[in-house]
Amino acid sequence: MMKIKLFLTDVDGVLTDGSMYYTESGDELKRFHTHDGMAFELLRNAGIKTGIVTSENTQIVARRAAKIKADYLFQGKRDGGKLTAAEQICAEMDITMAEVAYIGDDINCLELLKAVGLPACPANAVSMIKNIPNIILLKTKGGEGAVREFVDMILKNHTNRYENH
């Protein structure tokens, strides 16, 4: 496996449990897990760039991306837009898709999951995603630390690679 240089994630169903909460006045709320936030810091400390690529387009996600210091944020990416966004980042970083890890949970993540070098999905991803060849099926559900589980796997591999040389 090639060294991972870029970590990307979806939001709803991955960084959140996929639930949509609305207040009486129409405000939307999302619940994020702190372990996933720490995962971004761990990646940053390891020199791996991070990004969020989502179909949604909300201030909530923009605020979360800023708080966890994601290097890239692409919102409103539909109909192949997620893959295009990832390819754009790869071109900017001068890396290949084989050097990208991505975690997604639903059919709008399918193209990108099939294109990256290291795909993963939360335990509660839809069947079509779970059945992608070579996908890492995590034990943790979206919004409950699935990103952290995946990042811990990546960093363990990342560290072991250098310890063996």
In a domain? residue 38? yes
What's the pTM value of the predicted model, to 2 decimals? 0.93
In a domain? residue 36? yes
The 3-class secondary structure across 113-137, one letter per residue, is: HHHCCEEEECCCCCHHHHCCCCCEE
The pLDDT tens digits along the chain (165 residues) read: 569 999 999 999 999 999 989 999 998 899 999 999 999 999 999 999 999 999 989 999 999 999 999 999 999 987 789 999 999 999 999 999 999 999 999 999 999 999 999 999 999 999 999 999 999 999 999 999 999 999 999 999 876 544 433
Using DSSP, state whether 111 is helix, strand or coil.
helix
Q: Which residues pair with 6 in a beta bridge?
A: 49, 100
Using DSSP, state whether 51 is helix, strand or coil.
strand
Q: Which residues pair with 121 in a beta bridge?
A: 137
In a domain? residue 85? yes
- What is the span of the domain harbouring residue 125? 6-163
Please give the Cα distance from 27 to 12 (Å, whole number): 16
Give per-residue pLDDT as tens, 123-139.
999 999 999 999 999 99
In a domain? residue 13? yes
Number of domains in the chain: 1
Annotated binding residue 10:
yes
CATH of the domain at 78: 3.40.50.1000
In a domain? residue 1? no
In a domain? residue 27? yes
In a domain? residue 142? yes
What secondary structure letter does DSSP report for 55?
S
